[in-house]
Amino acid sequence: MEPWRPSPRKPRDWIDPDTFLFHFPNLRYANGRRLCYLCFQVEREDHCSYDDGDWGIFESEVHPQARCHAELCFLYWFYDQYPSRDEHYHVTWWVSWSPCPTCAEKVIEFLEEYRNLELSIFTSRLYFSRHEDYQQGLRCLWNSGVQLDIMSYDDFEYCWDTFVDHKGMRFQRRHMLKDYDFLVTELEEILRCE
């Protein structure tokens, strides 16, 4: 019997401003933030340039049978929406937490199927960054050609303008970049180690 997996679902179009401001700041310690949000943009190459493509938001789900991390929700959706392995895609993720080792492994398997896909991941925070298996998952993604970086001011502003139902309210960074420098250094150290 095949293991249970959620059926592909439609991503959300918008995220609430309070949810974004709570779940996305660059923090070393992010108490109470158990959900992962993944904002994405898919661009498909069309005659040497990329189209605007799809965009949306996934969040981690809890099902009676199993948990589905936001990254896996995206992968199941992408398999359903873009069955062609021959087209060229550029996918960008802005995530509130970096991928866990299991999700990193699934993403690498996905990239092996979609060899013409470039993936960029901008993460707000590093998930269990002191655990060797989590570090190894990030290194494996990096070594598979995934661009990994910590979300910067420009990333937050882009996400605010694109994914947040802000009703005309301007983005104010306040505490979004609180531990940005620390996280950039930590990610660089993780990716440098072998």
Q: Which residues are catalytic?
A: 71
Distance CA 137, CA 99 (A): 8
Distance CA 28, CA 129 (A): 9
CB under 8 Å to 108, separation ≥6 — which residues?
A: 140, 141, 144
Tokens of 150: 């910590």
Sign of CA dihedral 119, 125, 127, 133: positive
Dihedral class, residue 48 (left if φ above 0, else alpha if ψ from -120 to 50, else beta): left
